Amino acid sequence: ASHSAADLTAADVTRHKWWGWGMDDVRFRFDNKPAFAPLAKNKIGVDLEQVTQFDDPELSDHEVPAGRLGDAEREAIVGLVGEANVRTDDEYRVLHSFGRSLPDLFHVRSGDFERLVDAVVYPGTEEEVAGLLRLAIEKDLVLIPYGGGSCISGSVTPDPAEQRPVLTVNLGRMRQVLSIDDTAGLARVQAGVYGPDLEEQLAAEGWTMGHFPDSFTYSTLGGWAATRSSGMQSDKYGDIEDIVRGMRVVHPEGTVVTNPIPGRDSGPSVHEMILGSEGRMGIITELTVQVHRLPQVRQVIAYMYPDWEHGIRGMHAIARSTDVSPTFTRLSDGPETEFSLAMVKEPTSTKGKVAAKVQDGLFAYLRSKGWDTSEEMSISYVCFEGTKETVEHQKSVVKKLVKGAGGITLGAGPGAIYDQKKFDTPYLRDFLLSYQVFGDVCDTGATWSNINEVHAKVYEAFYEAQRKQGLPGFMFCHMSHSYHSGACLYFTFALKYTSPDKALEQYYNAKRAVQQAFVDLGSTVSHHHAVGTEHQPWLTEDIGELGEHIIEGLFAQNDPGRNLNPGKVV
């Protein structure tokens, strides 16, 4: 359903629970997943059956420091957006002061509120956004643009040393698809729209944007553009920079407009300078995005390879093929396959029990062929879209390519399960935190030439860090977001910390080892999780001192008063 901002107030805008992922009562459960507790015990030394889970945190257990917004400033802001759209209550201020990274979740649950934003403002129009920015410059306030707050690089958190009042500008009321150019397949959309709301509005007209990051349910179009996001279907639909064709951005000196055209050669791209700028170049109010007709058929097929190297051979063959263009291609390595199998629920229906028996039989057969089905075997998912004929054709081509690389086709059943469950995994981090276990991710890019080396060396770096700190740890990885020259490697790691005062030190010992390995190997600080503050320590090694100098100049020129999300990126 579409809503005009005038119908909505701050209270109508979707928001996470203050201490974790999502806003509803979805919780991760392990009691219906027989292999999960044994995996947790073997890999990270936590006995879920024995250890008592901590209760959900209560905000009233923590002291929330008073905000610093003066009465006159508040009044001026209320004059712009209305009383209902200025929130200074504790829950709003705490929630908007953190993204959803592991350190964010740890700080928020611990009541570590060193510096909170002072108010949360919900503008309803571009004019109101412009008014807020004018006011911020006049009264020397800091504005932090905010979409869904799902960032995991510290991008929405105020600098602890900031003395000026800090306002979060939540774009959530601006969530409408304004128009669709049927001929060009271009949709003008307000920046604050959440993923499901956007796809629902587009689907009502027979369109999709095709951008589905794992955070899709609680992230927004403006946030995707401001962080250079990539969705799981990027193989077909592109990363956000391929999808966004034009934009409107409220800037300290006016509104930047990049016209929606398919390509441009008008000097260095202003458009590209704003993508990934994390709010430092202005507040994005509207984007014109490429949309596509909904495909007639969509199918996810699962494949299995004896190990990672065979799988990469298959993935590379698919990326190289002139006959197929899948919507996504994904390969889990051995440990991630083991983890995925541990996430499978105990079958209760007759159909489920039969499928489990078939799987046991298949694994026994694979073992008889010499496969290591417990630690090496690597599952892959490939998604096909199109007409029935093109999907069938592509499936038959991929089946041959997979076979040529030493893999087998499992079929549509496991593929469908993956497709339905993909947005549930974020809840696992909240669950694990209540057992003093950190589960987090680091992602990078690699070429087809060095992808196996990056994969192996990041593992070495993580386990060496864990060995040094004398803690068990578990790492797994998948490859996704395939390009002609390479793909994204997405590492997940888990560790149980020894005590709350050591927790973050132990987490950063592991995270630093992984990030350092990325840049040492000539990879990037992140494929799609932005820079914020979390990835800044490695930025110079990624883009070079001169690269950083160029970005610093850009921000200094466009925001001389440092009123726009200062301290992020560089």
Q: Which is nearer to ligand FAD, 14 or 540 (CB)?
A: 14
Q: How far is the CB of 391 from ligand FAD (least distance, A)?
A: 24
Helix (H) / strand (E) containing 431: helix 427-433
Q: How far is the CB of 11 from ligand FAD (least distance, A)?
A: 18
Output the six-digit token pair for 88. 């200074």
The candidate with the shortest Cα–Cα distance to 69, out of 112, 127, 108, 121, is 121
Q: How far is the CB of 497 from ligand FAD (least distance, A)?
A: 20
Query: Phi-psi region for residue 452, left (φ > 0), alpha (ψ -120 to 50) or beta?
Result: alpha
How many whole angstroms separate alpha carbon 328 and alpha carbon 349?
Answer: 30
Q: How far is the CB of 240 from ligand FAD (least distance, A)?
A: 7
Q: How far is the CB of 426 from ligand FAD (least distance, A)?
A: 4
Name the amino acid, one letter, at 179: S
Q: Which is nearer to ligand FAD, 328 or 371 (CB)?
A: 328
Q: How far is the CB of 443 from ligand FAD (least distance, A)?
A: 8
Name the amino acid, one letter, at 487: A
To 5 degrees, how large is the angle CA 20–CA 145–CA 481? 65
**Which residue shows structure tokens 């949309």?**
291
Q: Which is nearer to ligand FAD, 371 or 490 (CB)?
A: 490
Q: How far is the CB of 191 from ligand FAD (least distance, A)?
A: 4
Q: Which is nearer to ligand FAD, 117 or 152 (CB)?
A: 152
Q: Which is nearer to ligand FAD, 57 or 213 (CB)?
A: 213
Q: Which is nearer to ligand FAD, 109 or 568 (CB)?
A: 568
Written as one string, the DSSP assignment of 126-159 is HHHHHHHHHHHHHHT-EEEEESSS--SSSTTSPP
Q: How far is the CB of 212 from ligand FAD (least distance, A)?
A: 8
To 5 degrees, how large is the angle CA 109–CA 110–CA 114? 110
Q: Which is nearer to ligand FAD, 100 or 511 (CB)?
A: 100
Q: Which is nearer to ligand FAD, 402 or 477 (CB)?
A: 477
Residue 3, classified by CB atoms within 10 Å of its CB into exposed (0-12), middle (13-18) or buried (19+), is middle
Q: Which is nearer to ligand FAD, 423 or 459 (CB)?
A: 423
Please tell me whether residue 205 adopts helix, strand or coil conformation. Answer: coil
Residue 129, classified by CB atoms within 10 Å of its CB into exposed (0-12), middle (13-18) or buried (19+), is buried
Question: Which residues in this chain contact ligand FAD in the complex, by CB under 6 A?
Answer: 99-100, 144-152, 155-156, 171, 191, 213-215, 219-220, 222-224, 226-227, 229-230, 278-279, 283-284, 426, 528-530, 565, 568
Q: Which is nearer to ligand FAD, 337 or 526 (CB)?
A: 526
CA dist 527 → 259, 330, 441, 446 (Å): 27, 15, 12, 9
Output the six-digit token pair for 548. 């950083």
Break the chain down into helix, strand, coil percent, rounded to 5: 40, 20, 40
Radius of gyration of the chain measured on its C-alpha atoms? 24
Name the amino acid, one letter, at 460: E
Output the six-digit token pair for 280. 């430092």
Q: How far is the CB of 216 from ligand FAD (least distance, A)?
A: 8
User: In the bound complex, which residue of the shown chain has the CB atom lying closest to ligand FAD?
Assistant: 223
Strand 142-146 to 166-170 pairing: parallel
The number of beta carbons lying within 10 Å of the beta carbon of residue 554 is: 18
Q: How far is the CB of 281 from ligand FAD (least distance, A)?
A: 8
Q: How far is the CB of 388 from ligand FAD (least distance, A)?
A: 29
Q: Which is nearer to ligand FAD, 386 or 486 (CB)?
A: 486
The candidate with the shortest Cα–Cα distance to 23, out of 354, 430, 473, is 430
